[in-house]
């Protein structure tokens, strides 16, 4: 009987994978499970030498043991390094329920002849809603006002003109990156009445947005939200030079990837007033250390990498991965291949 491993965690549980695979009408299979510690335990790099994967949860040894006799694995964060592929030559396919399978050594998977699939857009709605929520929180000082009231202070001065917040209606909002998440954010912002600028060299022209270059976007937007993928091209995309282009008092939101932003440049930008507000869900170091200079800054909204954390995302992720596994088992082309072997199925 076909042996399948559901290597889940405490967000996308193994049973979600197996239930989704049954819903896909997969032939009878022997479903095995493995549960990693994320998110109660932080993810991180796993591996040694030339094969180190990122944002992984669990150990190579536990994964190798669980893969005994397994042909297909559905996972979110299991660490698929070269060592794992070498130890389990019977493995044929890995379906990763993430938009980017950074926990898989794709070159090693190709070398081992293992097809890898991914799940683009699984958390697009969740992340887009969260990004807009962060904009509103920063523009209207919602977390600060909540904290003051809970501490017994009725801050009537927040209604004073100099302290009052700003609206999205009529604002110019710049989106850096225009993939699945950015498109939803733009749609929601237009409903608020905002003017939407987009900087993305790969974005097509569309009604309702204005395509422009990054420097022009930064000079014109009172709110800037990052939605780009982290690549060699985008790493460190926003630093001191770029922050200096912003209008005085602009709001910056990063719910994408910490590596897009130079976090060392942020305290000075806040102190000078160049940044009037900052909303962060991702960081260059996760979690930020206890001495992080922005921990107590009043105009900073900070959350612990929660943008994609909805129950719908977990079910959608499992369903996409199960769909890819079912296609593989039926001998069909993968809809979302992540490596060369997967693309040539």
What are the residue numbers of the active site? Answer: 257, 286, 305
First to last CA, the chain: 22
Torsion region of 284: left, alpha or beta (phi above 0 gives left; psi -120 to 50 gives alpha): alpha
308: three-class secondary structure by DSSP: coil
Q: How many residues does the chain have?
A: 345
Angle of CA points 229, 234, 237, to nearest 5°? 120
Residue 217 near residue 250 (C-beta atoms within 8 A): no
Q: CA–CA separation, 47 vs 80, rounded Å?
A: 9
Q: By C-alpha distance, which of 122, 38, 91, 71 is closest to 81?
A: 91
What are the φ and ψ backbone dihedral angles of 49, each rounded to 5 degrees?
Answer: 60, -130
Q: By C-alpha distance, which of 228, 245, 244, 214 is closest to 181?
A: 228
């Amino acid at each position: 009987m076909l042996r399948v491993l559901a290597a889940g965690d405490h967000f996308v549980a193994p049973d979600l994978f197996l239930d989704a695979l049954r819903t896909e009408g997969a032939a009878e299979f022997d479903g095995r499970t493995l549960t990693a510690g994320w998110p109660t335990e932080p993810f991180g790099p796993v591996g040694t030498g030339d094969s180190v994967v990122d944002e992984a949860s669990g150990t190579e040894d536990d994964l190798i043991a669980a893969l005994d006799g397994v042909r297909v694995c559905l996972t979110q964060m299991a660490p698929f390094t070269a060592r794992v592929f070498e130890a389990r030559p019977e493995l044929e396919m890995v379906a990763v329920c993430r938009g980017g399978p950074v926990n898989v050594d794709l070159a090693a998977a190709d070398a081992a002849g293992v097809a890898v699939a991914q799940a683009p857009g699984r958390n697009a709605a969740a992340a887009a809603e969260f990004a807009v929520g962060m904009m509103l929180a920063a523009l209207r000082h919602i977390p600060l006002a909540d904290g003051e009231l809970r501490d017994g202070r009725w801050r009537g001065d927040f209604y004073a003109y100099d302290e009052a917040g700003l609206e999205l209606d009529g604002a110019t909002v710049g989106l850096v990156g225009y993939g699945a998440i950015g498109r939803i954010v733009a749609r929601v912002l237009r409903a608020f009445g905002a003017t939407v600028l987009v900087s993305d060299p790969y974005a097509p022209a569309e009604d309702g947005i204005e395509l422009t270059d990054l420097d022009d976007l930064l000079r014109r937007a009172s709110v800037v939200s990052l939605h780009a993928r982290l690549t060699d091209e985008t790493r460190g995309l926003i630093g001191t030079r770029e922050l200096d282009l912003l209008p005085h008092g602009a709001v910056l939101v990063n719910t994408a990837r910490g590596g897009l932003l130079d976090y060392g440049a942020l305290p000075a930008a806040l102190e000078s007033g160049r940044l009037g507000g900052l909303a962060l869900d991702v960081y260059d170091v996760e979690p930020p250390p206890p001495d992080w200079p922005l921990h107590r800054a009043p105009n900073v909204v900070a959350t612990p990498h929660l943008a994609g954390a909805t129950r719908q995302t977990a079910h959608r992720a499992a369903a996409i991965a199960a769909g890819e596994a079912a296609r593989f088992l039926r001998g069909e082309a993968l809809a979302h291949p992540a490596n060369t072997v997967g693309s040539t199925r």
